[in-house]
Amino acid sequence: MSQPEQPTIIKKYANRRLYHTGTSTYVTLEDLAGMVKRGDQFAVIDAKTGEDITRSVLAQIIFDQEGKSGQNLLPINFLRQLISFYGDSMQSLVPTYLEHSIKMLTENQQKFRDQMASAFGANAFGVMEEMGQKNMEMFRETMAMFTPFVPRSAPSATSAETSPEPEAHDAGDLERLRRELSEMQKRLDRLER
């Protein structure tokens, strides 16, 4: 039997710098996040005391990721409930439960990816992205119909082929639209003051 691979040692110095002993280079929390995503095993050791501080560094990485716009994975209610377990009699069960839950999520994530690949081929997510882009284009075109005073973006080839020429307005309709637009401008000016 082969021995499990030893984790790379990352030393954290008093000046908060992280030193990767495997590559003899300084690294950032972002670098460590990349290592986690690649599945690299590492342990963070306080250079002065020799204490294993991996847990607090991983928590810091999560904190940093949560602070980025659009990166939130932990809902507020989940965080509140998690905090409420500290000091509770159930505290000892929470880590095992969370570890099991994340393992199940990871396994189901791979099954979902496999099912998508078999349903849509190897480029499943590309197909979904293309569908999303088409839906957004359709949504923009629909919204443009409800905002007649906003200039429309250049029409796509398909919409240019299928849309009829706009009907000519008679002078009365045009004058009425000008008056309404002038009234709206006056209201906006009053609101600005």
Residue 184 domain-assigned?
no
Does 83 share its domain with 66?
no
The pLDDT of residue 24 is 94
Residue 112 domain-assigned?
yes
H or E element: which one contains 46? strand 42-46
Spatial CA neighbour of 181 closest among 173, 192, 171? 173
How far, in Å, CA of 108 to CA of 103, rounded? 9
Does 78 share its domain with 106?
yes
The three-state secondary structure class of 14 is coil
What percentage of the chain exceeds 70 in pLDDT?
72
Q: What is the mean pLDDT of residues 28-51?
A: 95
DSSP 116: H
Residue 69 domain-assigned?
yes
The pLDDT mean for the chain works out to 79
Residue 166 domain-assigned?
no
Please name the residues in contact with 2: beta carbons below 8 A apart, sequence gap of 6 or more. none
Does 68 share its domain with 86?
no
Q: What is the mean pLDDT of residues 188-192?
A: 74
More confident of the two residues 104 and 20 = 20
The pLDDT of residue 58 is 96
Does 68 share its domain with 87?
no
Does 83 share its domain with 94?
yes
Does 17 score more than 70 pLDDT? Answer: yes
Range of the domain at 32: 1-73
Query: CB of 159 within 8 A of CB of 141?
Result: yes
| pLDDT category of residue 191 using cuts at 50, 70 and 90 | confident
Does 21 share its domain with 54?
yes
Q: pLDDT by residue (tens digit) across 93-152?
A: 889 888 988 888 888 888 887 777 777 766 656 666 776 777 667 666 666 565 555 555
Report how many domains make up the chain.
2
Does 56 share its domain with 100?
no
